[in-house]
Each structure stands twice: as structure tokens, then as C-alpha cells.
Amino acid sequence: MQDFLIKLDRLSKLYRKFPEMAAIEAVNFSKERFVRKNWVDRTVTAWPARKPSPEWHSEAQKKAAARGSLMVKSGRLKRSIRKIKVTRNSVTIGTDVPYAEAHNEGAEINTAVNIKSHSRKRKGRESTVKAHRRKRKIKLPERRFIGESAVLLRRVERLVQKEINEILK
């Protein structure tokens, strides 16, 4: 009888700490997306490949971008993922970075670019281009890293099942 009461007490403690455990698992799952460069729900969806930026002028910049991770320049977005709200029945994780939604869901951004004065050679003639502003439309592809996932739910289920099995040994 004493053994039964001890196990019941441990199950009760697991019940109280389970939402916190699920939140940690969800945060780790989202941060893992930056390493694996994909989204996993029922199937694996790889992030679209990076396209060369017109601002890359040197080979060194191109090589550095090729070996670097997508969406990780300073690491701010990845580090900002945290639990927002944990209740008995739900866990909410999120980020306070303003550009997170644009990356997670994709976006089209209209912006203006300053062009410096420069010379250009065309058909053997050299001409000078005056400094000006040009409108530019940037399309950010969807690179999902946070949201509901069947794989994440399965991981959480396995986590709690493992803890229950340990208690009931």
C-alpha cells in the first residue's frame, strides 16, 4: 500500500509539472528548426534555398553566406523563442522579435533603396549614373519555425509516457 501511495504522489507531481515540460519541448523543437532548416508537421518541408543577394560584392561574402545558417545573422530570432503562457491545458510559445512573423509565414515587403552615383560600361561606352532612389519589392519565402506540429505533439506524448513508465516501474 505504501508503494502505491508513493507512486500516486509522484504521478500527481508529474501532472503538475507536465505543462512546463511540454513548453520546454516545444521551445527546443522550434529552435531545432534553425539547425535542420526545415519544418516538420506530418511531412518534412525543407526551407527554400537562399538566393544570392545583390549586396554580396566579394567571394568571401558569398562563401560566408553559403556556410552560414538561413535566418541567423545575429541569432536574435532563435534566442527570442520562449514560453509565453503555460496553463494546465495549454502551452503557448512565441517571440517578441518584430520580423518573426514575416519569416515564419512569408511576406512581400515594398521598400526604397538608395543607389549611389556610379559609372557603367555598356557597348564600349562609359556613362555615369546619378544617385537616386529605386522602389524594390522583396519577397520573403515562408520558412516556418514555430507553430503546431504533429511531430511535436507526438514528442510530447512520448515524453509524458516515458515519465509515467518510470514512475510505475
For 25-62, what is each residue's pLDDT tens digit? 999 999 999 989 999 999 999 998 877 666 555 565 56
Residue 66 is predicted with a pLDDT of: 59
Residues spanned by the domain of 52? 2-102+144-168
Q: Is the dihedral of CA 120, 126, 127, 128 positive or negative?
A: positive
Number of structural domains the chain divides into: 1
Task: Give the orientation angle of helix 2-36 with respect to helix 150-168, to 10 degrees.
Answer: 150
In a domain, 68, yes or no: yes
In a domain, 159, yes or no: yes
| pLDDT(124) > 90 | no
In a domain, 36, yes or no: yes
In a domain, 121, yes or no: no
| pLDDT(146) > 90 | yes
For 55-107, what is each residue's pLDDT tens digit? 555 565 566 555 556 566 788 999 999 999 999 999 999 999 999 999 999 99
Q: Is the dihedral of CA 101, 106, 111, 116 positive or negative?
A: positive
In a domain, 107, yes or no: no
Predicted TM-score (pTM) of the model is 0.77
